[in-house]
Structures are given as C-alpha cells and as structure tokens.
Structure 1
Amino acid sequence: MNHKITQKQMEKVHVRIPDAFEQLRQGRISRREFLRTATLLGMSAGAATLAAACTTPEATTGSTSSTGSGEAEAAPAAVGGIVRGGTLRIGMLLQQIDHPARFSWVEAANVARQVGEYLTETGPDNLTRPFLLDSWEANDDVTEWTLNLKQGIKFNNGDELTTDDVMFSFSQWLDEDIGSSMLGLLSYLDGMNSVEQVDDYTIKLHLNSGNIGVPEHLFHYP
C-alpha cells in the first residue's frame, strides 16, 4: 500500500509546513531540518518522517552520503537481556538547588527530572514531542501558541495536573526577582500578561514576535 502525505494534509497542520517540504524537495534544507521544523509546527514525528520520505531532493553539487536505495539500515543487535530490579547507583557533582526554576548548571536538572516531568521532550534525534502536553498548535505567523495539556495525569498525592500548575511554573520562569534562565528564552513574552489560561487543560501564549522554537523551550525546566 502506498502512503503519502499530501500538501493539503500538511497545510491542515500548519501553513508553513508545505514551504519547508518544498525546500527539502529542492535540496535547500536537509531532511533533519525539515523534520525539526515540521514537528515544531505541530506535525507528529511519524507523519513528518512519512512526508520526508515522499520526495527525493533535487540534485545538488557535491557528494552525498545517501545512496538513494531506500533500504533501511539494519538495527544493531541487542546485547544481553533486560535486567529488572536491583539498585542503580549514580555519582555526580551537584551544585545547590535553591529554586526549582533557577538551575545554575545541568546537574540540578539531572536531579529535578527524577521527581518532575516536562511539558515537551526533545530527543537525541533533535525532534520535539509532547510529554505532559497532548499537543500544540501555532497560528500562521507563529505569534500565538495553543498548548493542550494531557488529561488524567496525577501527582503522587493523587491531585490531577491542570493548567493551574502550568501557570504557576510560567509565573516562576517569568518572575524577574527569581532570575530563571528561562527569562532569556521566553523574552518573546511580556510576562504573565502574555500567558492566557483558557481552561483546565488549555493555555495560550501570545508572543510579541514570532518564534518557532517555543516547544523546544518548554523542555528546559520541569
């Protein structure tokens, strides 16, 4: 069966995805760049991968490592079986964690992620996927982002995660007195005035300038 992502389907996710697809077809951007752009604009990683497979970039000067055969590389063989149970001991230098929205170095994040989770997650493939979020959408000029929270997520005390909790996190990131490093990343927001709580599971971000990197920025603090 032949599967193909049409331009109309890409436009339904976001109007800028077909432009990125055309740049890929012309060889002006790499497959990796297309996948990153498409997923940031709300396309699932699977759909973006399928879309990228629907075209062969036009010939460009210089050599390329791709053979064009379409054959998938063999996956490396697993070494040993899965060991369950036991104790995992990890040793690392750790600076003081004085505020959950103010990490001075990466070691603090290594501790925080054991007890907190992120709205999104950027994997080793450089693709950003929903984590605590169920999905997100951006308007045409990427100045308004709608964040849709997953429902039914519980804290260890049984309380459900809602946008009240997400709004609190944003308030900490955007408080100049706290001095979170997120202040620089989120400079396109005019404080909490730019963060709208629509309902228990929906938040809208109103940016003062377009920025495609919003989903990536939500992976910096749990």
Structure 2
Amino acid sequence: MGRRWRPRRIVNLILLLPILGLVLMLMLALVYSAVTPPSTLMLGRWLTRQPVQREAVGLDAISPHLVQAVVASEDQRFCAHDGVDWGALRTVVDDEEGPSRGASTITMQAVKNVFLWPGRSYIRKGLEIPLAVLADAIWGKRRTMEIYLNIAEWGEGIFGAEAASRHWFRKSARDLTRSEAALLAATLPNPIARSAGRPSRGVRAAAARIQSRTGQVEGLMGCLRR
C-alpha cells in the first residue's frame, strides 16, 4: 500500500509547490510594505562574500529630481497603470534573446529585483506580470517607487539612490541636482557598463534627453504625493 501511494504523494507535492511559492511571495510582499527588502543581486553578493553598498532611505530623503528622472526614463505612465502597462506590453517587439526591457514598468522591475532572477526569459517575464499587479495593489505607487529606488543597481555592488549618490557625487540623495539625477537615470539600463560619475558621451546624451523630458512628467506624478 505504501508503494502505491508514494508516487501520488510526490505528484501532490509537485502540484503544491507553486501554491506554496505564491503564498510565500504574498507574505513577503506584505512584509516589504513596511521593511525595505534586499534585491536578489544583493543576496547573491552577500552569499559570495562580495561587498554591497546600500543605505535604505525614505522617499522624502531622495531628491524629487531623481524621482522625475527615473519616471521620465523608465516608466512615464507609472501613475496611470496597475503595475503593468498593457498597451506597451502588447506593442513591444521581442527579440530572439528573450523579452526586451521596453515594456517593463518600474513596478515590474521592482518585483523582478526583489523576487526573481536576472536575465531575460519568457518564464521570468510571465512571473513579473502577476507579481507587479500584486505589488501595485499591496504597496501602492509611493511605496513601490521607494522600494525601487532603494534596490536599483547603480554600479558594481552599489544599490539604492543613497549609496549611488554618495559614491558618484559625494552627497546625499536628497541633494542631487537635476543634471546629476538625469545621469543616474541614464545608467539604469546597464549600470555596470555605464557610469554616472564618469559618463561617456552616450550617457551624457541620454541624460540630456531624460532631463528634457522631466518637465513633461512632472504633472503626471500625483500618485507619489502624500
């Protein structure tokens, strides 16, 4: 009898694992609504004993210039969607290496950094979408932005706006100028290859484009006000 039931128990366990995973992520999302989480990249560096720079701060301690620059660069409809920009998701063209960054909202990038792994794959993108909707419902816009700006990578082992500001500009994140904020936002797509403190001509050009767009998004950020 024991042998007959053992395969069924294994199948039941396999079927139960995704449910347990969802419950765990829901519990973590609730915890992270009050506690600033590490990113999976940070955890990986800690596990391999590599240095990590990160000082978690509240959104009020981060320059509005950086918030505007990140919205202008990464997700101009941040206040208008439910965590997923469905229109952008439908129109983006995926290349053969996997889904592009183009349709990723700030919320999707936040949940990817907190719950998932780096890289590009359809599996990960498929997980990002429901997690982003869940995070938007639990965290809200202001907390989502706060988490994102505290876990975003801005250089080798440099995580969060405060650490990035102190490393690259020797000042607190609350004191960033508009041009410095645009430089930081311009490096987000590839923070290892791009430097805010020693920007290439391409990074400077991207920062100039971002800075020119910040005025356009300023009126679209009401969801971030208290």
TM-score, length-normalised on structure 2? 0.23
Structure showing greater Rg? 1
Query: Which one has a larger percent helix, Structure 1 or Structure 2?
Result: 2
Query: Which one has a larger percent strand, Structure 1 or Structure 2?
Result: 1
TM-score, length-normalised on structure 1? 0.24
